[in-house]
Amino acid sequence: MTNDLSTHLQAGISRFERGRYREALLAANILLAAAPEDPHAWELRCEALTRLLRFEEAVEAAAQVERFASDNPEQIATALRYKGFALQRLKRYAEAATAYWGAIECTPAGADQTYAWTNLSACLLRLKRTPEALEASQQAIAGDATDPQAWMCHAGSLEALGRRRQAVDALERAIALDPYHPDATLAWVGALLYLGRLRSAWRAFGEVRARWGGITTRRNERRYGPASLYNPHR
């Protein structure tokens, strides 16, 4: 990549980091017109398209990163996390699971790998591959026991296996880590009701109301992102 193109790439990344996703996409497209095989430009395009909710195009861009960055496992892992996220939003769960498996294989232990394990668990649960979903959630917790979303996925797997008391315990761990997690708090109340623990459910509901202080679900969705799917670069 020439100095001019490198400067243009850095400008595009800067726009992306400031939330100016359309401008970042434009920068990526200009770069690709000059250097159509540049994996960094494809990665920027993939990231911008994902934030703009253009998931089909994001999947295609991620595939181009895989094609042109074959000697860069870290870059491929990033592309696979974005690809998995986009496929998950498109409800193509089997393909998303494959992408997350690929990301895990390319990613060292850390937050990015925990993210991939967590979302792999969610996809496997959608595919009704519950024992595998439970194992993936356990791997996520082993990677980072302070991640509330990992505990949330763990609770979902336990509930699907009929282990509802353990699911309640997992939900309580998620809430302890993030008292304002909207999915965990609502699932917690529902699980207690299902178990017939009416007094506990009523107390839990009171705690939820006190924590949220009248905050609507829509406002919580703005904070956490749609469908509780987190950005690959948390």
Q: Each residue of 18-42: pLDDT tens digit?
A: 999 999 999 999 999 999 999 999 9
- Structural domain boundaries in the chain: 127-234
Reported confidence tier of residue 55, pLDDT bands at 50, 70, 90: very high
Average pLDDT over residues 135-158: 94
Question: 11 CB contacts (<8 Å, ≥6 apart)?
Answer: 27
Confidence of residue 196 (pLDDT cuts 50, 70, 90): low
Instruction: Please choose, from the candidates 123, 189, 178, the residue with its C-alpha nearest in 3D space to the C-alpha of residue 151.
Output: 178
Which of 105, 110, 102, 109 has its CA nearest to residue 82?
102
Angle between helices 164-177 and 148-160 (to 10 degrees): 170
Q: 197 pLDDT exceeds 70? A: no
pLDDT given for residue 185 in this prediction: 62
pLDDT for position 230:
33
pLDDT at position 67 over 90: yes
* Residue among 130, 152, 131 nearest 141 (CA): 152
Q: Alpha-carbon distance 157 to 135, whole Å?
A: 9
- Check whether 121 has a pLDDT greater than 50: yes
pLDDT of res. 178: 80
As a whole number, mean pLDDT of residues 54-69 equals 97
Q: Is the pLDDT of residue 232 over 90?
A: no
What is the CATH architecture assignment of 127-234?
Answer: Alpha Horseshoe (1.25)
pLDDT at 24: 96
Q: What is the pLDDT of residues 80-101, one digit of tens each?
A: 999 999 999 999 999 999 999 9
